[in-house]
Each structure stands twice: as structure tokens, then as C-alpha cells.
Amino acid sequence: MFSAERDQAHQAGSQAAGAATGEFDAVVVGAGFSGMYMLHRIRDTLGLSARVFEAGDDVGGTWYWNRYPGARCDSESYFYSFSDRLSEDLLQEWTWSERFAAQPEILTYLGHVADRYDLRKDIQFNTRVIGADYDETTGRWAVRTDDGDQVTARFLISAVGCLSTTNLPDFPGRDGFRGDWYHTGAWPHDGVDFTGKRVAVIGTGATAVQAVPEIAEQATRLYVFQRTANFDIAGGNRPMDAEDGKKIKSYYREIWQTTRETGFGFPYDTPGRTARSVSDQERQRIFVEAWERGGFRLGTTFSDLLSDIEANDTAAQFVRARIREQVKDPDVAELLSPRDHPFFTKRPPLENGYYQTFNRENVTLVDVRKAPIQEITATGIRTGDAEYEVDTIVYATGFDAMTGTLFKLGIRGRQGLDLAEKWAEGPRSYLGIATHGFPNLFMITGPQSPSVMSNMPVSIEQHVDWITDCLRHLRSKGLDTIEPLLAAEDDWVDHHNEVGAATLLPMANSWWVGANVPGKPRHIYPYMGGVGTYRRICDEVAARDYDGFGSGSSGSTSSGEFAGVARAKHAAIAAEVAAGVTKPEHAEIAAKVAGSVAAG
């Protein structure tokens, strides 16, 4: 029983967070938002012992690794943080300096949270988990690290993040480049000075859109290698003044409640109207207003933008017109205008000066769709029709998202089943949080949960709180093993696929469908049913005694029922939405927010 293990585990856990050998109630992998909050809940809420392993030398996750120039959040700072679930006091005490905080500020914030909750003492830094095997006889996970240590734990919780394994394209000649090269997701801590350099940026996703304007300021020449033009939305970043901060703090509680109920985890009004239900003129007015306010609002203007191609096209045309307005050279503007995928079917970057950067004399957009990169030479990049001599290459080529990092954990469940093998043709999970054959394994923001299709702190907190309640439930029932039933998993995978297929996402080659990594199974990785809906499903599963999960003692999962409440709940919520049941309070809070910082 894990309650009986507690004293022993506490003893083991009380060693300094240096090399770990011992037994814990839980091992958590990763010390970003997810791992930090999970540690706090396990240790301080449940009173269990935990060891967190983190590959970096401090907390922060994404914000520890991504230190490239211009790195900042695209969720607005005031809701890109821990919510009142962690602490109302912290919300009141912390003041963000910009509407979209830059990386150093977010990292400082996360460091502050670590200090405040004394988290570092249970985190072993500079330590990478390289293997985790479930032992059916003891019902424990044996977790191995790259420094040769092994610990065991009843629960294994992945907090490795969706975007933490860099994707470095395997261009011929890559390693023979004699200049400097960097991946934006593993940026040097002491920064990079581009002054006097000829620089190539490969990639034009969210990261490049942030980095390019900053690099252009320093470099003598900048080549931006674009394979796919994106729908970049106006960011509208600006300093937060004291008045903004005060107003937001006065209704923080409602803001967070709204984020938990809306589709993308943003406190934006998501009106029930469709794009075709309004006149062309009115639609244009709504788009302009959203654009001027900045941020992801444009994506929430109409309910059918992601499900109706004609509705979508109205937004696509609107963005292309904004590109033409900003970029002086019509050929460059056209090259920057996406024509091969619908709006918002690839993660839209937020831009603060990106388009205008192409009006600079020292910046050239290189079309590698027309003439692909053939080779990295010792001195630059050779495409199908030219050679570019550069001193520095910046790979802004994203991540092996959602599954890449999970697979690197080397997780083996019952009968040695390897997670990567089980998921060879795409993820199979129940609720995106657990998977059959892997008892007591939880995946925070795992594939097939809303994860990257949301404002992530909201989804992270929801998963951590759900896991916390689940562990509490097991303890109260005298159980120590939980695992999804195969029938429940199959049902969720079908449901996940059906919901995803009803959207326009399959029409794009995006990392959301795994298209950026050669050989990766094509699958809609995030759950598309919406944050609010998903939360209600998870709550219902828990309320029905963890419907679809089997549980037991000493490693076996002897009992469990599956009534299929997840899909039934989804159907009921979908019907409510179709019937136009909207929440007036969401519109109200959105209006309040619009009246202050988000007015742009």
C-alpha cells in the first residue's frame, strides 16, 4: 500500500537532491510548469514523497531552454502563469511588465515559484531519465538515469513537455558547416551576438517569427529560408502599465474560471455565431477589431473557422490582405502569403514586426519550396538555385512534438511492453493522460489531450489536479494500482479521431499532425474537443469512480468498469453547444479584459 510506504519513502526522499537512490511514492520527469506544480501537489497537498528528475540545471522547462532573441509567450502574460489553483496571493503579488512576457521574465517567475514552494530540494537537476520499467510483482516503476542511478516509485509521472525535443533536419553536409550554428530550442545561456555576421534562419514558424526581427537588427545580412508561409497574427505586444495590472488583478478569479471553460483555455469570448451568419461588412469589422486587439483573438471570432472551409477562407483572405499592407515588395508579400493550408490549421505565430522586417535592405526571404535546400556546405547553404554564404545558421525548425520526448524516456510497461512500440502507428491513450499496459503511468498534457491546442498552463493544472485527485482516491480506497481498460482506450482513440477529423486540421502538414518529422505517424496529436469540454469529460470519469480505469492492489488491476461516460459526456456537451447554450459570463469577462490591457 502506498500509504504504508510513506515513512520509508520520506526517509529516502529526505536525502539531498543530489544523486538519487531510493524509493519514492512518485517520480516526476521534468521541472517546467508541469513538473513543478505536480511536485507541489504530491508533496505538499498529498504528503507523499517525490523525486523530480530534470535534464537542465534549473527549473523552467521551455523557458530554460528557449533563450533565443525575441523569445516570449504568445498567451498573454496575465493568463500564462499558475492560476488561483496554486495561489491567489501569488497572482496578486506578481506583476508582469509586458502584455506578452519575454523569456527572461517567465524564467524569473518560475524560479520565484520554485523558491516560494521550496521545490528545488526535491528536484535532481542535470539528470536525464533514460529508462523506466514497470515491475508487475512489486507494482513499482524502476527509473534509470543517465548518471547510472536507479530509483523506484509507485507512480511515474511524465512532465516532459510537448515541445522539448528539438527537431534538427538531417540536411546533407550539416555537420561539416564551419561557422556557428544553433537550434532555437537549445540556445546558449550567454546569448549570441550577430553583429557583423551573415546569418541564415531556417524555418518560419512561431519561433522564427519572434527571432527574425531581433536578428535582423544586428546581422549585416539575414536570409530567412521559408518552406511554408504561415498566417501570422498581429501580436500587439506592449508594456503593461500599473492600471492594466490593477484591473486584471481585481477580477483574476473570473478570468481563470473562464479559461477553464472555453475551447482554447483563453479568457476570450467565444461567440456562437458563424462566419456566414453575418454580412461581409460586419465580418470585416469583427476581424479588424480582433486584429487590432492582437493575440489569438482572430481565431475565436467565429465558431466555424476550424470546421467550415468557406468560413475559414474569409479569415485567410483577411490575413493575406494584412500581409500585403505591411510588406512593400508585392512579390515578397505574395511569397509570405499562405496558399496551401487553411487559417489556423498550423499553429499561427504572433508577429511583432516580422512582416515589416522584410522591408529592410539587409533581409532576404528565400523560397525553399521552389528550390529546396540541397546541402549545408562548409561556408553556407546551397539550394536548388543558389548558394548563400553565411557565418551563422539558426535552425528554427521546431520540435518532435508530443511523442518525441516521451519515447526517449524508454518506458516499458507490463510484460516489457515498450511505449514507442505500442504507439508505433500513433498514440493510443485514454483521455491523453494514461495508456493501457502501463499501470500508474500518467502523462501531463499527453497526446490526445487538449495540450498544445490550448493555453497550456490551464491544461497543465487540470491534468495535475486530476492526477492528484486520482491518487487521493486510490489511497482512500486502499488501492495502489490504476490503469486504463483497453475498451476505454479504444473508445477514446476513436472519439479523438472523430473529433479531429471533423476539423480542418488534416488539410495542413503541421507539427500538430506530426508532418514536420520524417517517418512520424500522421495523426492529430492534440484533442480537438476543447478545453472546457475535455475538463467536464475528465471530471465525469472521476465522478463515476474512474470509469474506464481498472484498479487494484500490489500491481494487479483486477477490477474496473467501462460505461463509456467520456463519449456520452462529449455528445451531451456538443448538443448543448449546437443548441447555442453559451455562457453569458464569458462574454462579460472578455469585455472587462478588452476594456483594459487587451484593448491594445
Q: Given the rule CB under 6 A, which residues bind ligand FAD?
A: 29-35, 53-56, 61-62, 64, 66, 71, 73-75, 80, 128-129, 159-164, 207, 405, 408-409, 444-445, 455-456, 460
For ligand FAD, the closer of residues 61 and 348 by Cβ is 61
Cα 543 to Cα 404, 438, 536: the distances in Å are 32, 22, 10
* Contact predicate 117/52, CB 8 Å: no
Residue 295 C-beta: closest distance to ligand FAD, Å:
10
3-state helix, strand, coil in the chain (%, to 5): 40, 15, 45
For ligand FAD, the closer of residues 30 and 550 by Cβ is 30
Residue 281 C-beta: closest distance to ligand FAD, Å:
33
For ligand FAD, the closer of residues 80 and 511 by Cβ is 80
Helix (H, G, I), strand (E, B) or coil at 147: coil
For ligand FAD, the closer of residues 245 and 265 by Cβ is 265
238-258 in b/e form (b: 16+ CB < 10 A) is eebeeebbeebbebbebbbbb
For ligand FAD, the closer of residues 51 and 197 by Cβ is 51
Residue type, 596: S
- Rounded distance, CA 393 to CA 395, Å? 6
Residue 59 C-beta: closest distance to ligand FAD, Å:
8
- Rounded distance, CA 421 to CA 427, Å? 10
* Contact predicate 393/202, CB 8 Å: yes
For ligand FAD, the closer of residues 323 and 531 by Cβ is 531
For ligand FAD, the closer of residues 409 and 565 by Cβ is 409
- Rounded distance, CA 50 to CA 52, Å? 7
For ligand FAD, the closer of residues 29 and 508 by Cβ is 29
- φ, ψ at 346 (rounded to 5°): -120, 155
- φ, ψ at 103 (rounded to 5°): -50, -45
β 441-443/549-552 pair status: unpaired
For ligand FAD, the closer of residues 31 and 537 by Cβ is 31
For ligand FAD, the closer of residues 128 and 583 by Cβ is 128
* Contact predicate 481/554, CB 8 Å: yes
Cell of 222: 539575414
Residue 460 C-beta: closest distance to ligand FAD, Å:
6
Residue 284 C-beta: closest distance to ligand FAD, Å:
28
- Rounded distance, CA 419 to CA 355, Å? 42
Residue 153 C-beta: closest distance to ligand FAD, Å:
14
Helix (H, G, I), strand (E, B) or coil at 278: coil
Q: Using CA atoms in the order 122, 127, 133, 139, what is the torsion angle rounded to 10 degrees? A: -10
For ligand FAD, the closer of residues 357 and 449 by Cβ is 449
For ligand FAD, the closer of residues 463 and 520 by Cβ is 463
Give the rounded distance of the alpha carbon of 346 from its chain centre: 14
Terminal-to-terminal C-alpha distance of the chain? 55
For ligand FAD, the closer of residues 156 and 479 by Cβ is 156
SS (H, E, C) 93-123: HCCCCECCCEHHHHHHHHHHHHHHCCCHHHE
Residue 415 C-beta: closest distance to ligand FAD, Å:
23
For ligand FAD, the closer of residues 63 and 562 by Cβ is 63
* Contact predicate 559/551, CB 8 Å: yes
The one-character DSSP state at 267 is S
Residue 597 C-beta: closest distance to ligand FAD, Å:
15
Helix (H, G, I), strand (E, B) or coil at 459: helix
For ligand FAD, the closer of residues 82 and 546 by Cβ is 82
- Rounded distance, CA 131 to CA 290, Å? 47
Residue 312 C-beta: closest distance to ligand FAD, Å:
22
Residue 235 C-beta: closest distance to ligand FAD, Å:
10
Short-list 534, 535, 537, 546, CA closest to 473: 546
β 392-395/22-29 pair status: unpaired
β 380-383/387-389 pair status: antiparallel
Residue 357 C-beta: closest distance to ligand FAD, Å:
18
Residue 470 C-beta: closest distance to ligand FAD, Å:
18
Short-list 190, 124, 116, 181, CA closest to 151: 124
Residue 442 C-beta: closest distance to ligand FAD, Å:
13
Which residues have a Cβ under 8 Å from the Cβ of 250 and sit 6 or more positions away?
Answer: none
Cα 532 to Cα 100, 356, 441: the distances in Å are 24, 37, 24
Residue 508 C-beta: closest distance to ligand FAD, Å:
19
| DSSP-assigned letters across all residues of 527-551 | --S-HHHHHHHHHHHHHTTSTTEEE
Residue 37 C-beta: closest distance to ligand FAD, Å:
8
